[in-house]
Chain A
Amino acid sequence: MSVVARIQLSYTVVFACVVSYCFACCVLCACHHTLVREDAWFELLFLRTSTVKEITGGMGAVMISIIKLFFCSGHDPTTAGVSLQLHTGLQTIMWLKLGQVIADEAALHMLWGQKGLQASSLVCCVAMCSISCIGLKPEQQLTRMSGA
């Protein structure tokens, strides 16, 4: 097996994208423009698939840890927001919520604990897909000039 193939098969990367003030005057309009740029996505986690298999609950448990890290670690950015000082000198407060989860089918099943599609000839029509990435977007923004 080639080195590249080994890596493709053996690692799980979880991405998160934070659409922040500096990328968007209007979040809804700028969302797609930002999400198609590689540099808008930050790697959150890098795990060997063998390591994930050793975790009780697998990717589902990893997802829970990530959500707890963002939202339940003593500071809730959905209600309290996050204060950011931008390189332009602007200060912004962002209230974050988890907007969209998107990934391939295999990751979906692992993440939500769904049975494989071979389990049944019927399809569960949940609006969900396999998960490798988490989109975080500011629900609201409040900006003011630094020092103003």
Chain B
Amino acid sequence: MNHDDHDASKMILHTPDTLAVIVRKLSAPMPKSQLRALETDLGWKFAPETILWHSRLLSYCHPCNTTLFDWMHVFVVGGVFNTIAMCVLLALVPEGITWEVIDAYVSAWTSPASARTSRVDDVFKPKRLAKHKDAGELKCTASECLSLTQILASFMQSVVSGDRSDEVKRHALCYLMMVHLIELLQQSSRQLVAGAEYTRVCQHFLKLCRELYGGEVMTPKFHSSMHFGRFLNAWTHLPNCFVLERKHRFPKRWTNQISNTKHSYEAHVLRMVTVQHCEALISGKSSFGKEACLLEPREPSARMAKAMQAAIGNLGEITVAHTARINEYEKITKGDMTLIGTDGCELFGTVEYLFQQKGLHACADPLAFVRLFALRVVQTRCWQLRSTEEAAIVHVKDIRSALTWCGQGAAVVALKPVWMQSSVV
């Protein structure tokens, strides 16, 4: 099949047998020019040093059985998101939805503190526009892309439901389909996704994409995106390279400093990284816990204790923290807008304090002091909220998610978390 084809049923996957045939063909004696042509035809190199030429090792690691595309690289590192977001935004400009409009919209939102390291409000500033246009795609980091997906999706949802032409709505719908694919992949961490559902949406998306923008914009990463449905069926959860990209900072810390060692440079760096890693594991700095807990709890300062007493009352002996784990998936930080409670009984609130009481009769669970917001209107991708001028103390374990929000004063709009988003097709 061609790489811009959308029909997943046309895919014929390589098997160990087909790869064995390829190896046999490439290993046959032939002139160099013929070998180069054959390599191009087959898509594989004659490389006797690689694992395909070692049949014994293939029983431990066969490419057909073990390899998994990384959805981070496929979608948000010069990938499908970068290309489609650019195409859609350019298509909306003639309709009066300029980059300035998008910039103003994106800048109004506040992400949870855990996602605030990426500056999404910078992405559409004039100084970065030239970079986008030169590259022909939205040039931003993977974490910026991930933060942008939901905010732009909220905008596109308003375009789809608004009074716009059908053509504009089709562009917005194309974007929403792509975002839904990313959401499904993110939801797979909670094992909420069926591979068939992913494949169904992906086929709709690729078909619409080709109709709107042509096959030229569809790089091989678009084709790679079709494989994730099968991966979801096989593994239910899909690991990604975000964690490994974050981890690059550890080797960098030592590679910069070490320049003159009488031993192997690489071995020395690896040794230092491993020592640092083991030290973190032994000292308890790293945590594999799933339960709600305060992270790096400490005694409150005198100023904070006084402020908390004024706001809440006498709490006795307590520890406080800036950040807390709410479940195995998420953390919250002071200042975050959060979703609290169960389905049908949702509460919303901004976290002011995170604390835990000490003492014999105290509540053992970590607690949060939140300023409450009430639900006003439920929309497709977001909630409209209003301030209640009330506050409450809630169990940290009852907080379900940190939210991206915008608004001033009493009226606030909060985006639904990724794991609550539903299909657009």
Contacts and interface: CB of A to CB of B under 8 A. Distances in A.
Given A72-B57, A127-B231, A64 B49 contact: yes
Interface stretch (B8-16, B123-131, B169-177): B8-16
B51 A127 contact: no
Interface of A: 3-4, 7-8, 11, 13, 15, 22-23, 31-43, 45-48, 51, 56-58, 60-61, 63-64, 67-68, 70-72, 78, 97-105, 108, 111-115, 117, 119-133, 135
Contacts of B242: 36
A132 B256 CA distance: 22
Given A98-B66, A104-B73, 13 more contacts: A11-B251, A37-B288, A38-B286, A57-B47, A58-B49, A67-B60, A97-B60, A101-B67, A102-B70, A124-B44, A125-B12, A127-B227, A132-B241
A123 B223 contact: yes
B90 to A, nearest CB: 25
Given A38-B247, A121-B3, A128-B64, A114 B235 contact: no
A35 B251 contact: no
Contacts of B51: 60, 63-64, 67, 111-112
Contacts, number: 217
Contact of B52 (A43, A47, A113): A113
B269 interface: yes
A3 B257 CA distance: 11
Interface in B258-275: 265-267, 269-270, 273-274
A138 B269 CA distance: 28
A71 B66 CA distance: 16
A7 to B, nearest CB: 5
Given A102-B68, A112-B51, A121 B2 contact: yes
Main secondary structure of the interface of B (DSSP, over half): helix
Contact of A45 (B11, B265, B270, B290): B270
A31 B237 contact: yes
Contacts of B252: 4, 7
15 contacts: A7-B255, A32-B189, A46-B267, A47-B266, A61-B49, A67-B60, A70-B60, A102-B67, A102-B70, A102-B241, A104-B70, A104-B77, A123-B220, A125-B227, A126-B19
B281 A126 contact: no
Interface of B: 1-3, 11-14, 19, 39-45, 47-52, 54, 56-57, 60-61, 63-70, 73, 77, 189, 191, 220-221, 223-224, 227, 230-231, 235, 237, 239-244, 246-248, 250-252, 255-256, 265-267, 269-270, 273-274, 277, 280-281, 286, 288, 290, 328
Nearest to A70: B60
A46 B248 CA distance: 11
> Which of A3, A35, A111, A128 has the largest number of chain B CB atoms within 10 A?
A128
Contacts of A63: 50-51, 61
Nearest to B79: A105
B61 A56 contact: no
Contacts of B281: 39
B266 A119 contact: no
Contacts of B66: 98-101, 128
Contacts of B45: 113-115
Contacts of A72: 56-57, 60
